Amino acid sequence: MHPTHSPVVISPKFSVCAALVAVTLWSIAPLLVELARDTAPLQLTALTLLAGALATLPLSRRAATQTCSLGWRLSVWLGIPLLIVGAVSSYFIGMRLAPAAEAALITYTWPVLFVLLSQWSRWGRLRWASVAGALIAFSGAALLLLPQALNGSFGGAVSGYGLALLAAFCWALYSWLGQAAPVSLTPLLPRLLLVACAITCAASLLLESSAPLPRSEALLAGIALGLGPYGIAMVAWDKALRFGQASLVGSLAYGVPILAALLLVLAGVSVFDWRLPTAALLVVVGCLKASR
């Protein structure tokens, strides 16, 4: 989920179509997570990452990581897999503890966090437009949580919202490392996903030893998550940015929160409320403002 830029524009139509494929697949992720709700979260994470590694095998090729410093090698081969595990597992657990639409929307604030992190690391300061965009985006999330805050009815949802925000921070940091790393992460993605899968399997054996194996429906949902949002979508997004205009392609990603919320409502997982589309729109506007 990090940008890969190319000065050559081969086919604008191809890049837009590839970006739309990625956006659509990312948008159905919350719905697939709901279908696998009964599966132990670390089991589901391991299954998803394994399927994602298999789906991205066509991207795999050697990269000269041995020429990098020891710090960067540790960041790539240990830091990146840990961030992937943190992002995916926090997202899955957060959507079980909190309402799915609200938790997904909080996670989709990660582009704003990525912009803020990139600006701070590059210039040592934040631009006002980026800060304003972040405030707009998080006001959308606050709009969803306001009724529960006023009624004192958060319950266990607080932990879910916190984990959704943790997933957003993990994706933002992953994207920043992908941008700052001296080598491209795309050719390494299958191996990075396999390392992340191994870490998750070890954690699952330690923490979920008594959990039953996934049922057929949950198993299919987990495989679909890996093949789609964490597999084909990653490949499509890489192609879209590589062969298209990054500014045009990148703007399409901000439609993910709206489309994801719409799919959850249509599937009957979430109840339609005027706050949901309003909050999604605020998140999109905030992301656009911050990235300008």
- What pLDDT was estimated at residue 7? 46
- What pLDDT was estimated at residue 6? 43
- What pLDDT was estimated at residue 84? 93
Taking each helix axis as running N to C, give the angle between helix 189-207 and helix 41-55, from 0 to 180 degrees, rounded to the nearest 10: 160
Q: Spell out the alpha helix ranges (H) of 75-127.
A: 80-97, 100-107, 110-123
- What pLDDT was estimated at residue 8? 47
Residues 185-214: pLDDT tens digits? 778 889 999 999 999 999 999 998 787 877
- What pLDDT was estimated at residue 4? 45
The one-character DSSP state at 125 is: S
The one-character DSSP state at 215 is: P
- What pLDDT was estimated at residue 249? 65
Output Rg (C-alpha) for the chain, integer angstroms: 18
Q: Spell out the alpha helix ranges (H) of the chain.
A: 12-27, 29-35, 41-55, 70-74, 80-97, 100-107, 110-123, 128-151, 157-180, 189-207, 216-227, 233-243, 246-252, 256-266, 275-291
* Contact call for residues 13 and 220 (beta carbons, < 8 A): no
pLDDT mean values, one per 10 residues, the chain (292 residues): 47 78 89 87 93 85 64 85 94 88 83 80 78 79 67 69 92 83 80 94 90 82 91 80 64 75 81 75 75 66
For the chain, how long is the longest CA-to-CA vector? 56
CA 109, CA 125: separation in Å to the nearest integer?
20
User: For 207-212, which contacts have Cβ atoms below 8 Å and span 24 or more sequence positions?
Assistant: 207/42, 208/40, 208/42, 208/43, 211/40, 211/43, 212/40
* Contact call for residues 125 and 52 (beta carbons, < 8 A): no
- What pLDDT was estimated at residue 3? 46
In Å, what is the CA distance from 276 to each residue of 140, 145, 190, 264, 268? 9, 10, 35, 11, 14
CA 240, CA 22: separation in Å to the nearest integer?
9
pTM of the full structure: 0.82
Residues 21-66: pLDDT tens digits? 988 998 899 889 888 888 899 999 999 999 999 988 887 766 555 5
CA 208, CA 38: separation in Å to the nearest integer?
13
